[in-house]
Structure 1
Amino acid sequence: MKIMRRLTGPPSTQEIIPILGMGGIRKTTLARKAYDDPQIINRFDIHVWLTISQEYKIRDLLLSVVSCILNENKEETEDQLILNENKEETDDQLILNENKEETDGQLILNENKEETDGQLILNENKEEANNKLILIEMKETDDQLMDKIRKRLMKKRYLVVLDDIWSNDVWDFMSRILPDDNNGSRIILTSRLRHVAMHADPDSPPHEMSLLNLDESWKLLHEKVFGVQQVCPPGLEEIGKQIAQKCQGLPLALLVLAGHLSKIARAREIGRKLPKV
């Protein structure tokens, strides 16, 4: 996949990867597939996904970035979860094992040594602690949040997805908090608008999504209605292809149609199984 090569290959400088195409052509699906790929997860230190859309608030974007950063499953993130208000209580829970050779000087909890050996554990679970930290961040100004985010991303290889951008202003703002430390950071940007996709970096060629041809459309419709293994009943294939053609190669239209057809098929199957009165 071309997107994967651009995410993992050269250059080492920050690269913007625009995904361009009309609505319903699965730009977000492609970006999500790359974002969730195990190779990509392991390659980048920080992962941020932001859905922009036509209406957005800068404050919400900043807090979403903070939330993504805090949810990263990294040692540094765990350090951030130690809140001042419960630090003393947490410190009291930590004990040193008498046998230094066995524990290598790690801090352990009194309860459940096997699961917590060598880890700092808060009384509150990670999600609750994250929520408290976000509440703390909400009290800060936009400039303070921007400064904090930029510092947090510095020297880190990050992947940021800006999904469904409609305005150049969004990128102009986001670029202020995304440092380029020459370490292979990547930014995926999806948009329906060419001038928006090209605004962030005119020299970065967009990945242009194309419409499905008839065979691809029928294959997608068939798989969603009948499943991958099942064969289309005799006499329905020609009608199915005509229906697929009317979707004009739009994956979203095909998926919506497949959903309706599947419901109809299930309803008829249930009807046949119900006892006749």
Structure 2
Amino acid sequence: MAQAAQMAQTAQATIGDSEFDRDTAVTLREEGVYDAELSAGWTIIHAVNGGYLLAMLGRALGQSLPHSDPFSVSAHYLTASVPGPAVIRTQVVRTGRTLSTGQASLFQYAEDGTETERIRVLATYGDLEALTDDIRTSAQPPAIPPLEQCLGAGDGPAPIPGSSAITGRLSVKLDPATVGWAIGAPSGKGEMRGWFGLADGRDADPLSLLLTVDAMPPTSFELGLKGWTPTIELTTHIRCRPAPGPLRVSITTRNLAGGFLEEDADVWDSADRLVAQSRQLARAPRG
């Protein structure tokens, strides 16, 4: 694909040696306990991005379990995380021949030294290389204009106040049909589509897909709302190891009611394969 070739030419970082890998690194303190540092580089508005946090906990679980690839990861976000030190505690729930299940929680410290739990995860891991080639699907890649016809963060004014540090670590080009919010003319459709990659050129892997599903602008912007859209719960399914090259992400919201909305995300790789799916429940912004 022409878009894949265009982005591949700018590739610099590699899997295992990139800003994403360094900023999601965890250090084993003792069995089941890891020290971490939440980077300010992945903040948006008031808090650390939820997908970045999910990837960090996913890394800790991958080191704790006998299987290294996330298959299904469900996270509940309890309190907003902030840049700084954190501790992750993991527990092996079950191990089997092809799948293993574990849970993990991330804690940060209050000024008085007490711990506050930020996020709790229950996940099943396996081996993506061992999956069969049998595919029976009606899913189709999203229709997104070519990369050069899509719009990035530098193509318009910042729509919301607060930190947007995460945008400097991402390469996101949005379908023009889903960026009416940036010029004060949201479509009202609750859709967000675009090309996605990491700014340093690192290719996607199963761990970075946990970031991808929660790193696009929220669909609430196209519903005419502005402001923080905090995630309450996020479940992600990793379906296969992505091919090198840019990803295509499609996110839709069908129902905003009672101050909450759902976001359903599909992630496609450069080989036209559905590599990740997610659903999250989020609190609608008040704007």
Q: Same fold (TM over 0.5)?
A: no
Which TM class, normalised by the smaller chain length? under 0.3
Which protein has the bigger strand share? Answer: 2
Q: Which has the larger radius of gyration?
A: 1
Higher RCO by CA contacts (8 Å cutoff, separation 6 or greater): 1
